[in-house]
Structure 1
């Protein structure tokens, strides 16, 4: 293994050159991405990250169990747009599995960094040695072993890029002890900067989907008698609150929410509904589903009116058409798409959707 992968500490350094460790590189990349806190519980495999965080002014939140670290990083990610947990090898990383799985299902961009025994001791029975990457692959958007110290920053850039590709999600990096503590010449380290496409205000980038389909759906909503829309977690991911408010009023249609989209419209909003969802879906002639999978909560798409036109919009192409065929499908930023629909159509100028809204409001009052 040593002949195949030379550790950074084995590379002859220039005499007098400033050196930097893998843990310090990790901290610099975290700071560059805007991380101000990490959630962790101390372990020998990951101590060097702490040194780097102290140098970079990143606060170390010491918890009592790795489960807490992972769930806290997930929550931090949902609020700020990126969270990070750092856990030690073996049981430290396996304890974080549930937090990673939760973040994966919630489309939460948290980075989990796990230590491991030295790469030089691969399959020799090192302290708490496990193949963490294989465990994390099914419950993350990206999982990888970091094999050399000089590639730590590059691998973090790859992880961040994959975590934000389409719908966001968690990433995992396994950094062995000798890679973490290994040192390279500081001036030679390349820190990726413009390595992923970013949107305004730290949100996802604007991407529209097919503009012709956007126009068709806008026209369909305006002409429908009983249109209804359901927005899921990606409404929050896309910072689409104001756009959904505009969309609801423009097309004069009822809005339902689930997941992290709860709170998108206030309780007293004229177009915000909750208890009447079944009535709406049973009677709608157009159903728009945005940023929510057709999973168990939606009866896998089987509870929708079979006569209704189905429109599915999502940041992840894998959710468009899963469990239920659609009439119109769009992959893109929900905020961008609904704003474009408002521009493409004059909306419900005749208020012909009012009878449907009244029916649903009466149904809610009876609930």
Structure 2
């Protein structure tokens, strides 16, 4: 892939790290502190109360400011940047600007994604006078963040910003919100410098707890290992544990990229679209080893996954998660990867019966998850592009080292959940927080974090149109994100529920779309329209062959949707 505009800029913007002068403004100190914490990019929308910070960024060469077209996009972009290995930060102005970013903060909180939201606030000297766009930032964001704080003095910026970053990345990660009153940003301080950067090491498991967990696992007849988002990033440790236990390994909803699907113990993912064999293996287990998962509503089918007599070994870095849904026999407050390695070392080799059972289940899973499964012969695309063909066109991308897949919240999602094989862990990103329109901005952030890989985002047309204006940002900043838009002119998930649970009384779910490919071209990007199965793979190849942001507009019937036999969960 050729060097993008962003990559070229990145080389020139990280060469020097400017330190604050002896006397500097609060805004200058904010920028210096961000640089000291390794933040290279701040996304946002300009506004009155953040202009001091934007100007400070313009006067220094330590941090780059990236202007988006909406604060929601800035927040989701920061989310994606964090998932790519950096620390995402966004900067928004008071009142409406902060409110627009709230959806990204809520999603990051649900998804355990570290993120820093900086909010420019009205001046501290006029607070509580209902000044223009004044809102209580701390009270608004406290329920949806790990920590929300307002800085009341410029000389405390280093202390509180360092704590904010450390809180975001330590333990169970999450978003932190920092309110910065305008007069604090304008005030000057002398002899104040960024605090020294440091990070806490994750906790190791208690040796007695490891021994107790190993004893429970050793007695199992039908064990299963469940891997959640808190265990992502250590696929080898997870599969090594599953091999030592002799158990199948499953992931939670939209965490199917946590381990290789080629592993002989992998049995699919729980959640919406789960295969019967995957569900049965987990629900019929006598011992469940859960690492870094919180037993969410979708992964457990509304908390019906585990029977009362199941022996649970639950590992999580957050003690609050242990016992929240299911009471464990052994609960370990510890890092999932470290614990997996400790358990692997403590366990004896597995009995042959467990391995034989795992092998049988794997055969069933491979048959059920095959894109050539006879079940799919009943699929009727009603004209347009079939989802079966879309999975087939995406499959070759899963083995390309220069591509990572991003899944938004489309009704197409259960197709990838069931039938897309991911041989390489860590290259698939999906959001289980439920927020539509996460995909494109997250793909932008992932591209910033890892410019060597093209982000290919699969969205529904409903999600795409909520943030489509920021395709211009991609063009302006040289972010070659590829958007595969499953275009059925409908909010597909809601349409399916109205069809099945509301007597086909359709209201508010159908709409009309412009030509998405032409829209992309009008902004200076690449656009191609796909109306037949055989056109999709060449269209993806054409999008990948150039450096422009792209839209692959995949036309489907307005009534087409779920894989055969899948029924959406009812609203309760």
Query: If the TM-score is normalised by the length of the shorter chain, which range does it land in?
Result: 0.7 to 0.9
Residue 260 of structure 1 deviates from its aligned partner by 5.9
Match of 1:137 in 2: 142
Match of 2:325 in 1: 323
Match of 2:32 in 1: 28
Classify 1:359/1:19 alpha carbon distance in 2 versus 1 (closer, same or farther; 3 Å): same
Match of 2:216 in 1: 220
Q: Does 1:282 align with 2:283?
A: yes
Match of 1:172 in 2: 177
Match of 2:408 in 1: none
Distance 1:209 1:165 in 2: 16
* More divergent stretch after superposition (163-172 vs 252-261): 252-261
Give the paired residue count. 339
* More divergent stretch after superposition (268-277 vs 129-138): 268-277
- The answer to whether the 8 Å contact 2:36/2:194 transfers is no
Match of 1:202 in 2: none
Query: TM-score normalized by structure 1?
Result: 0.87
- The answer to whether the 8 Å contact 2:41/2:64 transfers is yes
Q: Deviations over 1:333-358 (max 9, x none)?
A: 0011001111222331x433123213
Alignment of 1:116-155 (within 5 A): 116-155=121-160
Q: 1:47 aligns with which of 40, 44, 51?
A: 51
Match of 1:37 in 2: 41
Residue 107 of structure 1 deviates from its aligned partner by 0.4
- The answer to whether the 8 Å contact 2:39/2:86 transfers is no
Distance 2:22 2:204 in 1: 47
* Secondary structure at the counterpart of residue 257 of structure 2: coil
Match of 2:246 in 1: 252
Q: Does 1:233 align with 2:229?
A: yes
Q: Does 1:273 align with 2:284?
A: no
Alignment of 1:1-367 (within 5 A): 18-54=22-58, 55-185=60-190, 188-197=191-200, 205-236=201-232, 239-259=233-253, 261-274=255-268, 275=275, 276-297=277-298, 298-299=300-301, 301-348=303-350, 350-367=351-368
Distance 2:252 2:363 in 1: 21
Classify 1:194/1:68 alpha carbon distance in 2 versus 1 (closer, same or farther; 3 Å): closer
Match of 1:13 in 2: none
* More divergent stretch after superposition (323-332 vs 110-119): 323-332
Residue 45 of structure 1 deviates from its aligned partner by 0.8
Residue 300 of structure 1 deviates from its aligned partner by 5.1
* Secondary structure at the counterpart of residue 167 of structure 1: coil
Dislocated runs of 4+, deviation >6 Å: none
Distance 2:92 2:170 in 1: 25
* More divergent stretch after superposition (130-139 vs 151-160): 151-160
Residue 303 of structure 1 deviates from its aligned partner by 2.3
Distance 1:160 1:249 in 2: 37
- The answer to whether the 8 Å contact 2:171/2:202 transfers is no
Distance 1:39 1:87 in 2: 9
Q: Deviations over 1:262-312 (max 9, x none)?
A: 222222211111132211123211111221112212145432133321111
Distance 2:161 2:234 in 1: 28
Distance 1:25 1:105 in 2: 31
Query: TM-score normalized by structure 2?
Result: 0.57
- The answer to whether the 8 Å contact 1:31/1:56 transfers is no
Distance 1:143 1:31 in 2: 21
* Secondary structure at the counterpart of residue 96 of structure 1: helix
- The answer to whether the 8 Å contact 2:248/2:265 transfers is yes
Classify 1:258/1:366 alpha carbon distance in 2 versus 1 (closer, same or farther; 3 Å): same
Match of 1:6 in 2: none
Distance 2:169 2:67 in 1: 27
Distance 2:302 2:193 in 1: 46
